Amino acid sequence: MEFFSFDRLPDFETGEVIIFDKPYSWTSFDVVNKVRKKISEYTGIRKFKVGHAGTLDPLATGLLILCTGKKTKLIEELQGGTKVYEAEFCLGATTPSFDLETKIDKTFDISGITEDDVRKALAGLCGEREQTPPVYSAVQVNGKRAYEFARKGRTVELKHKLITVYDITVNKIELPLVYVTITCSKGTYIRSLADELGRSLGNGAYLKSLRRTRSGEADISKAVKLDEFVEYMGKIMDN
């Protein structure tokens, strides 16, 4: 598949598949809206079709695929690709959102946990199984996002999803921190894996940082920065 490049003039209407390196704190929809605005200015089409192929949490960085024009038809296909993430788990505490979107609500003693315990627990998270999405997630519940209910303190029941964790490679363990590379299927919540790791150790854990590096054929090495894209659009509009 050919991806967007600064080396050629884009054809946004026929369609472009753009790999972005999403900035920290930006939502996937923030990126879509920013890109749509710039493309609309360039094409003169007010409501230009732009969509993303797989949400990335605001506190995560890395690979976010956007499709434009007629290539928005590829979104479902692109979403199904295998994902690769670089994650940092922190043992000894939990948060309601399973990451740093919310404050720590419980702490635990990790003095009895060894590196071998952690490696065995991570190995136990691999394979095909059901996973419940975090209550602080973008999953649709009665027409609203689950996080909208969670932020108001309301409890909603989320359906289990069948996922596959193909591999978890341990890069480094410096307790309470655990650094891993995770290869998994569409729909896998890495935040939930952090929480599951803590539970399997009879302890607690949350996701401290996350970066997506691959989705299907798309690799972070082919990604463009959002500010670079904005600058590029300004240049081709001036010519």
**Secondary structure in 3-state letters for the chain:** CCCCCCCCCCCCCCCCEEEEEECCCCCHHHHHHHHHHHHHHHHCCCCCCEEECCCCCCCCEEEEEEEEHHHHHHHHHHHCCCEEEEEEEEECEECCCCECCCCCCEECCCCCCCHHHHHHHHHCCCEEEEECCCCCCCCEECCEEHHHHHHCCCCCCCCCEEEEEEEEEEEEEECCEEEEEEEECCCCCHHHHHHHHHHHCCCCEEEEEEEEEEECCEEHHHCEEHHHHHHHHHHHHHC
Q: Which one of the listed residues 7, 21, 30, 57 is annotated catalytic?
A: 57
- Is 117 in the active site? no
Q: Which residues are catalytic?
A: 57
